[in-house]
Amino acid sequence: MVEFSNADWQAIWLTFKLAAAVTFILLIICTPLAYWLNKTKSIFKGPLIALFALPLVLPPSVLGFYFLLAFAPNTWFSQAALALGFGQLAFSFTGLLIASLIYSLPFVLQPIYNAMQSLHTGSLDAAATLGAGPLDRFFTLVIPMIKPGLFTGAVLGFAHTLGEFGVVLMIGGNIPGETQLISVQIYEYVESLEYGKAHFLSGFMLIVSFIILWLVYKLQPSRVHE
């Protein structure tokens, strides 16, 4: 009977830990970013939106290759990370986290940005007339009004990070307990022709992914009317 090994449990824990960290950080980054993108009249708005959306169309191997170059020990980026106490970025969990933030950013940003576009500005204008400042309007009006977008962005960002492979393999390699995620563990099983173990772990991810996506469609309508 096939069952999860200690290495499998480590990979599962590491994968969910990475997905949770990425989702939390991206929600903090993307919410004010989406608000600014909706408000700004800057000529750089279009190029910035295109730049943030690049991970949607670029092959993961392309992103992984440039991340690997950026994380090389002699680059200014790696030197700055070392100076800040983050340690070596290539083949480390920190490197995976940074790469995953960029790789999953559009999956969190886009739903929040779309929710921002559908905001009723009348409520915001009325609050401003009554003396509410920008931060007050943002936290008391904008955030509650975009809850469906925040929810969708959080779920999609989490699910997308769970399924990473190309980027994490090039950046993190396959270090047990440090960078060996579920997708890499499955790849290792396939490479060693252990199809039973690969099937068992893949089936687990299939069920988890289905539940996550089902929750999006199940809970989203109720949240829209809150």
What was the pLDDT predicted at 23? 96
What was the pLDDT predicted at 226? 42
What was the pLDDT predicted at 77? 84
The two three-digit tokens of residue 152, written as one number: 């969708």
What was the pLDDT predicted at 32? 92
What was the pLDDT predicted at 107? 94
Give the pLDDT confidence of 95-104 residue by residue, as tens digits: 899 999 999 9
Ordered structural domains, the chain, with CATH:
14-224 (1.10.3720.10)
| pLDDT tier at 225, thresholds 50, 70, 90 | very low
Q: To the nearest whole number, what is the mean pLDDT of the chain?
A: 84
How far the first Cα of the chain sits from its last, in Å, is 47
The pTM (predicted TM-score) of the whole model is 0.85
Neighbours of 109 (CB within 10 A): 23
Give the pLDDT confidence of 170-216 residue by residue, as tens digits: 888 788 888 889 998 998 889 888 888 899 899 999 998 888 888 77
Measured between alpha carbons, how far is 64 from 73 in angstroms, rounded to an integer? Answer: 16
Measured between alpha carbons, how far is 186 from 152 in angstroms, rounded to an integer? Answer: 27
